[in-house]
Amino acid sequence: MGSLSELEVHLAPKTLFKLFGILPITDTIVMMWMVMAILISLALIFRAKMKYLPSGFQNFVEWSLGGLYGFMESVGGKEAKRHFTIFITFFLLILFSNWIGLALGIISEKLGFLRAPTSDLNSTIALALTAFAYFEYQAVKAHGFLGYLGHFFNFKALFTQGGMGIIHFFVGLLHIISELVRPVALSLRLFGNIFGGEIVLVVAFLLVRGLVPVPFMMLEFVVGLIQAFVFSTLFLTFTVLNTAHAEEEHH
């Protein structure tokens, strides 16, 4: 049975080298690069082998994309489909990042424990901030810069609606908090679930050395899929919410 110190060694981020002697490159960064290389390679291969009349695996891919298209329309209407590219990018990047920790997460004396990129809080924060920047940009694009600020600082209601205007003004200020909480929730939810799963797997490996805890790996396989879908869906929901008000105001 492994000790607590051994568990900490396996789960602690490892700096492999320093870029330009300053920037530390950890194992999770290298794993993220690996995921990106895999996705880009698969995209190029699939594009080269696409046929006008689909069959086999291409049928499955097109069926899956069609299902996601339909799901996006059910969440945010037809306008949500224009965010499909970034939606599917987040989904695949997070999905492969979650699963690569299972595929290569081997404890051995030589390799050590190869962690999923999303088990590092730095990676999930970067993903959440990218999502945050996107749906804030879409909000400004939909409302205009001053119009979007008006949702948070409703001075017009303050001077034209009397007592209710004061309430509307402070509700707008509360929206600032809810807006800033979104990237925090996105990053912590993804990190907590994947990192927690890796703790379970490491403990299982340490308890039964030489054996593969298949039930735990199957569970984490499903969790990885669910968390990729949850992150992407929340991203889509926040984007739709930030742009929907403009359409309501026009109506």
How is the chain split among helix, strand and coil, in percent rounded to 5?
80, 5, 15
Tokens of 127: 């993903």
Helix 4-11 / helix 162-207 crossing angle, nearest 10 deg: 120
pLDDT for the residue numbered 17: 58
Quote the Cα angle for 151-79-68, to 5°: 120
Confidence bin at 36 (pLDDT 50/70/90): very high
pTM for the full predicted model: 0.80
Q: What is the rounded distance in angstroms from the CA atom of residue 67 to the CA atom of residue 57?
A: 15
Q: Is residue 22 exposed (0-12), middle (13-18) or buried (19+ Cβ within 10 Å)?
A: exposed
Of the ranges 68-72, 166-170, 223-227, the best mean pLDDT one: 223-227
Provide the domain limits for residue 197: 4-250
Q: What is the rounded distance in angstroms from the CA atom of residue 5 to the CA atom of residue 58?
A: 47
Say how many domains are in the chain. Answer: 1
Q: Tell me the pLDDT tens digit for each residue of 40-99.
A: 998 888 888 877 777 777 788 888 888 888 888 887 777 777 888 898 899 999 999 998
pLDDT for the residue numbered 111: 46
Quote the Cα angle for 78-82-87, to 5°: 110
Confidence bin at 19 (pLDDT 50/70/90): low
Residue labelled with tokens 């359409």:
247
Tokens of 186: 């996105």
Decide: 182 and 132 in contact? Cβ < 8 Å.
Answer: yes
Q: Is residue 94 exposed (0-12), middle (13-18) or buried (19+ Cβ within 10 Å)?
A: buried
